C-alpha cells in the first residue's frame, strides 16, 4: 500500500512538473494571491474602509507581479525603489484629478516615460509599470489630496506584504527554480517516450493523433530545454557546471527526438521526413500496428518502457540490481552484436534506444553526481568513460559574447514604442472622455496593455482582439458573480483572490483567458465600490474596444513596424544563426579549431523562438489570408527541421576530441560550403527580393564525399549519422527556396 501511495504521489508530482515547468505559474499565482490576502488581513485589523481595501489589494498585486528579476537581492532593491515611485504616482494622481488638461498631459508623459524605461532593463520596466499602474489606481479609487496620508499607509502595507510573501512565505531562488525545471524536463521527456510508445501501437486510424502527440511532446520538451538554458547562469555555481548541464540537456533532447523519427520511419511505408515532426498537419503513410505477439515488437515496447522508467527514476537512486540490468541492456544496443535480428529500420530504433539511454545516463550523472558502477557491463563502462572524457573536455572559459550595435533615436525599439503608446493614449483619452468623463482611463489602460511585449502592428492587432474577446466574456461572468455576491464584502474578496490566481496561472497560456479573469475580478471590485451596474460593465467593453483601436491606429500610423518587415528581419537573423552553427560544426568536423557550439545552438534556438512569436499574427486561426498562413507555418517548420539537424551536427562535432568512432574528414568542407552558400542566398533574397543570388542544386552530399582518387579512403571515418544530418539539412535548406521564391542558380563549374 505504501509503495502504491508513493507511486501515485510520484505520478502526480511528475504530472504537475510537466504541465507547469519550474512551477513558475503556480508560484506567481500563489505569491500574488498571498500578497493581496496578507494586505487585506492587515488592513482589516485596522478597520480600513472598502476604498482602501480595494486600493491595497490592487497595490499589492502590482508590487508583486511587476518585479521579474531573477536574483533576490535585485528584487529587493527594485521593490524598495518601487515604493517611492508608487507614492509619487498616487500623489500626482490625486493632486491632478481636478485639473483635467494638466492631469491628461501628465498621464501621457508618464506613459511615455514608463515605456521608454524598458531600455534600462528589468528594473526600468518594473518601475515604469509601478508608476503607471499606481496612477491608474488613484483614478480607479478616486484618490483625493485629503485622503493621501491614509493611502500612503495602505501602499506601505501593500509593499511590505509583497516583500514578506516574496522573500519569506513563498521564497524562490534561481537554484530552486532550475532544480524544478530539471524535474520538469525529465517529466516531459518521459511523456515524449510515452507518446512514442503510443505511436508504436497506433493503428492506421490512430496514427494521426499519435503523430500530433509526438509533435506536441517534442515541442514541450524543447520549450523546457530553452527555459533551463535561460536559468543556467543564475542557477548554477560556476560556468563549468552550467555548461555540463547545458550539454546533457541538449544531448537528451536530440536523442529523444531522433528516437521518435527512427520509430516513425520503422512504422512508415517509406523513410520518414524529419519535417513530419515539425509541421502541424503533415501526415505519413503507415501500415497496421505491429502484432502484439511479435517477439521483436514486444522487445521494442519493453525497452521503450524501460527508457521511460530510467528517466523517471529519482536521480538520487543510484543502486539496485534491477535498475543496473535494465541500464546495461539498453546501453548494449550501442554495439552491433547486441542488436536483435530485425529489419534495418527496426534495428535503427534499437540503436536509437541505446543512444537515448546513454543520454539519460549522462543527464542522471550531471544531476545526481557519482553513481554506483559495480554492476556495469562492458557497454555501460564504455559509455561512462565517454561521458567522463566529454565532461573533462568542457571548457569554462569566457563565452566571448559581443553585443550588437544598438539602434539609436527613433529607431530604438523602446523609443519608438514610447512614442506610439503616447500617441495612442492621447487618442484613447480624447475618445474615452466622449464615452465617459469618469472612466475614460479604461481606454488608456487597454492601449497601454496591447503594446506590452509586442513589436509589430500585427501583434498589436491580435493582442487587442484577444483582450476584447476576453473582456466581453469577463463582463458576462462579472454580472453573474456580482449578482451572486451581493453586499457580502469578504465573499467578494475571496472570489477576487480566486480570479487573480487564475489570471496569473493562465497568463502564459492564453491572453484571452487572462483578460476574462481580470475583467470578472474588476466586476466584483465595482460591486465592492458600490459602482456596479450593467451600464458600467457595457462601458468597460466600449472603452476596451476604443483603447485597442487607438493602439492599432497608433501602431499603424506612427513609426510603424509592419509584420512582414519584422518577420523578414527575424527570418534573416534565424538564417544567420543557422549558417553560423552549421559552418562551425562542419568546420570542426573537418578538422578545424574547436568553438563554442553550445552557445551558438542556443542563439539559433532563441532566434527561432523570436520568429515563431512574430509569425503568430500570420498564423492566427481567424486570418483571412489562408495561403499566407500556410506559407508561414511551412517556413517555420522547415527552419525548425534545419535547427534540429544543425543541433545534431553541433553535438556530434563536440564529441570529436573524445569519441573514438568519430574522426575529422576535410572533405566535409565541400558539402558544408554548398549549404552555407544556399543559406546566404536565401537570406539575401529575403532582405532584397531583387537579389540575383540563387541556391545551388546538385549531387547528393554523399556523392560530394566520394574519393577524388582511387586510393583515397572512403567516408568510413565519418559516421553515417553525420552524413544523414548533412543530407537532410541540405535538402531542407533547398526546400526553403520554393516558398520564399528564391531561384535556383546554374551549377558552378
Q: Determine the Cα–Cα distance for residues 525 and 54; give it in Å rounded to an integer.
A: 7
**Structural contact between residues 450 and 512, judged by C-beta atoms closer than 8 angstroms:** no
pLDDT digits (tens, 9 = 90+) for 438-480: 788 888 888 888 877 777 777 888 888 888 888 888 888 887 8
Residue 744's SS3 state is strand
Q: Where are the alpha helices (DSSP H) in 668-707?
A: 668-687, 701-704
Q: Which residues of 153-163 are buried (b: 16+ CB within 10 A; e: fewer)?
A: ebbebbbbbbb
Compute CA distances 183 → 280, 359, 585, 627, whole Å: 28, 16, 30, 40
What pLDDT is stored for residue 613 in this prediction?
85
| % of the chain beyond a pLDDT of 90 | 28
H, E, C per residue of 27-62: HHHHHHHHHHHHHHHHHHHCCCCHHHHHHHHHHHHH
- Residues across the chain: 749
Query: pTM, whole model, 2 decimals?
Result: 0.87
Cα–Cα distance list, 73 to 86, 131, 697 (Å): 20, 21, 56
What is residue 400's predicted lDDT score, i.e. its pLDDT?
44
Average pLDDT over residues 190-199: 92
C-alpha cell at 244: 555540463
Q: What is the mean pLDDT of the chain?
A: 83
Sign of CA dihedral 728, 731, 733, 738: negative
Nearest to 445 by CA among 27, 58, 49: 58
> Residue 306 has which C-alpha cell?
524501460
For 316-372, how does the pLDDT look when each residue is reduced to its tens digit (9 = 90+)? 665 567 778 888 888 888 888 888 888 888 888 898 999 999 999 888 888 875 566
DSSP assignments along 288-307, one per residue: SPPPTT-HHHHHHHHHHHHH
Higher pLDDT, 593 or 224: 224
Quote the percentage of the chain above a pLDDT of 70: 86
Question: Which residues on neighbouring strands pair with residue 286, listed in sequence order?
Answer: 268
Least confidently predicted of 2-16, 193-207, 629-643, 685-699: 2-16
CB 595 within 8 A of CB 584: yes
Mean pLDDT of 710-733: 68
Residue of 42, 46, 321, 276 lying closest to 159 (CA atoms): 42
CB atoms within 10 A of CB 170: 19
Distance CA 378, CA 491 (A): 66
- Bridge-based pairing of strands 744-745 and 695-696 is parallel
Cα-Cα-Cα-Cα torsion 457, 462, 464, 465, nearest 10 degrees, comes to 140
Mapped to the 3 state alphabet, what secondary structure does 507-525 carry? CCCCHHHHHHHHHHHHHHH
Amino acid at each position: 500500500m505504501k509503495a502504491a501511495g508513493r507511486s501515485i504521489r510520484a505520478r502526480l508530482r511528475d504530472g504537475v512538473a510537466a504541465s507547469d515547468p519550474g512551477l513558475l505559474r503556480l508560484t506567481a499565482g500563489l505569491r500574488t494571491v498571498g500578497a493581496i490576502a496578507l494586505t487585506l488581513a492587515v488592513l482589516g485589523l485596522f478597520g480600513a474602509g472598502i476604498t482602501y481595501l480595494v486600493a491595497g489589494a490592487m497595490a499589492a498585486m502590482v508590487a508583486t507581479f511587476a518585479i521579474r528579476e531573477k536574483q533576490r537581492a535585485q528584487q529587493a532593491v527594485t521593490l524598495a525603489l518601487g515604493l517611492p515611485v508608487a507614492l509619487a504616482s498616487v500623489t500626482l494622481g490625486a493632486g491632478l484629478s481636478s485639473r483635467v488638461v494638466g492631469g491628461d498631459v501628465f498621464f501621457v508623459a508618464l506613459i511615455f516615460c514608463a515605456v521608454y524605461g524598458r531600455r534600462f532593463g528589468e528594473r526600468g520596466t518594473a518601475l515604469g509599470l509601478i508608476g503607471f499602474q499606481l496612477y491608474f489606481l488613484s483614478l480607479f479609487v478616486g484618490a483625493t489630496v485629503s485622503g493621501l496620508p491614509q493611502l500612503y499607509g495602505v501602499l506601505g502595507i501593500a509593499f511590505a506584504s509583497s516583500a514578506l510573501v516574496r522573500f519569506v512565505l513563498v521564497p524562490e531562488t534561481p537554484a530552486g527554480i532550475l532544480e524544478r525545471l530539471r524535474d520538469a524536463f525529465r517529466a516531459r521527456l518521459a511523456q515524449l517516450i510515452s507518446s512514442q510508445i503510443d505511436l508504436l501501437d497506433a493503428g492506421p486510424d490512430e496514427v494521426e493523433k499519435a503523430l500530433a502527440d509526438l509533435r506536441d511532446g517534442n515541442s514541450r520538451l524543447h520549450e523546457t530545454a530553452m527555459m533551463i538554458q535561460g536559468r543556467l547562469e543564475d542557477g548554477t555555481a560556476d560556468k563549468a557546471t552550467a555548461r555540463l548541464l547545458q550539454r546533457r540537456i541538449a544531448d537528451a533532447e536530440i536523442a529523444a527526438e531522433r528516437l521518435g523519427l527512427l520509430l516513425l520511419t520503422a512504422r512508415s511505408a517509406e523513410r520518414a521526413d524529419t519535417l513530419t515532426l515539425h509541421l502541424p498537419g503533415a501526415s505519413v503513410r503507415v501500415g497496421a500496428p505491429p502484432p502484439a505477439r511479435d517477439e521483436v515488437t514486444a522487445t521494442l515496447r519493453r525497452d521503450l518502457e524501460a527508457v521511460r522508467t530510467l528517466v523517471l527514476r529519482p536521480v538520487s537512486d543510484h543502486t539496485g540490481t534491477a535498475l543496473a540490468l535494465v541500464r546495461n541492456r539498453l546501453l548494449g544496443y550501442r554495439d552491433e552484436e547486441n542488436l536483435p535480428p530485425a529489419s534495418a529500420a527496426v534495428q535503427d530504433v534499437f540503436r536509437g534506444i541505446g543512444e537515448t539511454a546513454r543520454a539519460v545516463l549522462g543527464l542522471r550523472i550531471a544531476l545526481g553526481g557519482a553513481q554506483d558502477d559495480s554492476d556495469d557491463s562492458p557497454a555501460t563502462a564504455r559509455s561512462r568513460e565517454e561521458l567522463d572524457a566529454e565532461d573533462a573536455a568542457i571548457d569554462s572559459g569566457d563565452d566571448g559574447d559581443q553585443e550588437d550595435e544598438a539602434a539609436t533615436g527613433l529607431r530604438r525599439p523602446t523609443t519608438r514604442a514610447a512614442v506610439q503608446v503616447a500617441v495612442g493614449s492621447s487618442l484613447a483619452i480624447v475618445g474615452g472622455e466622449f464615452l465617459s468623463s469618469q472612466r475614460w482611463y479604461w481606454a488608456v489602460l487597454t492601449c497601454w496593455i496591447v503594446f506590452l511585449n509586442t513589436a509589430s502592428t500585427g501583434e498589436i492587432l491580435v493582442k487587442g482582439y484577444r483582450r476584447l474577446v476576453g473582456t466581453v466574456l469577463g463582463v458576462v461572468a462579472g454580472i453573474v458573480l456580482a449578482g451572486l455576491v451581493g453586499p457580502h464584502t469578504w465573499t467578494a474578496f475571496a472570489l477576487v483572490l480566486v480570479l487573480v490566481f487564475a489570471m496569473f496561472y493562465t497568463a502564459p497560456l492564453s491572453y484571452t483567458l487572462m483578460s476574462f479573469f481580470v475583467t470578472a475580478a474588476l466586476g466584483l471590485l465595482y460591486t465592492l465600490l458600490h459602482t456596479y451596474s450593467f451600464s458600467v460593465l457595457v462601458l468597460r467593453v466600449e472603452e476596451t474596444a476604443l483603447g485597442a483601436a487607438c493602439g492599432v491606429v497608433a501602431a499603424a500610423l506612427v513609426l510603424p513596424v509592419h509584420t512582414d518587415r519584422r518577420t523578414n528581419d527575424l527570418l534573416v537573423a534565424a538564417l544567420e544563426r543557422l549558417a553560423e552553427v552549421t559552418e562551425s560544426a562542419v568546420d570542426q568536423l573537418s578538422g578545424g579549431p574547436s568553438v563554442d557550439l553550445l552557445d551558438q545552438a542556443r542563439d539559433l534556438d532563441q532566434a527561432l523562438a523570436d520568429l515563431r512569436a512574430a509569425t503568430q499574427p500570420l498564423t492566427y486561426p481567424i486570418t483571412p489570408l489562408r495561403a499566407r498562413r500556410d506559407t508561414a507555418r511551412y517556413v517555420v517548420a522547415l527552419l525548425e527541421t534545419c535547427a534540429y539537424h544543425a543541433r545534431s551536427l553541433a553535438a556530434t562535432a563536440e564529441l570529436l576530441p573524445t569519441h573514438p568512432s568519430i574522426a575529422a574528414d576535410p572533405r566535409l568542407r565541400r558539402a558544408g560550403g554548398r549549404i552555407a552558400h544556399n543559406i546566404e542566398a536565401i537570406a539575401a533574397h529575403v532582405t532584397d527580393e531583387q537579389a540575383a543570388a540563387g541556391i545551388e542544386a546538385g549531387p547528393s552530399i554523399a556523392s560530394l564525399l566520394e574519393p577524388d582518387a582511387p586510393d583515397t579512403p572512403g567516408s568510413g571515418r565519418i559516421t553515417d549519422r553525420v552524413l544523414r544530418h548533412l543530407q537532410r539539412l541540405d535538402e531542407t535548406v533547398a526546400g526553403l527556396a520554393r516558398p520564399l521564391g528564391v531561384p535556383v542558380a546554374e551549377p558552378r563549374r
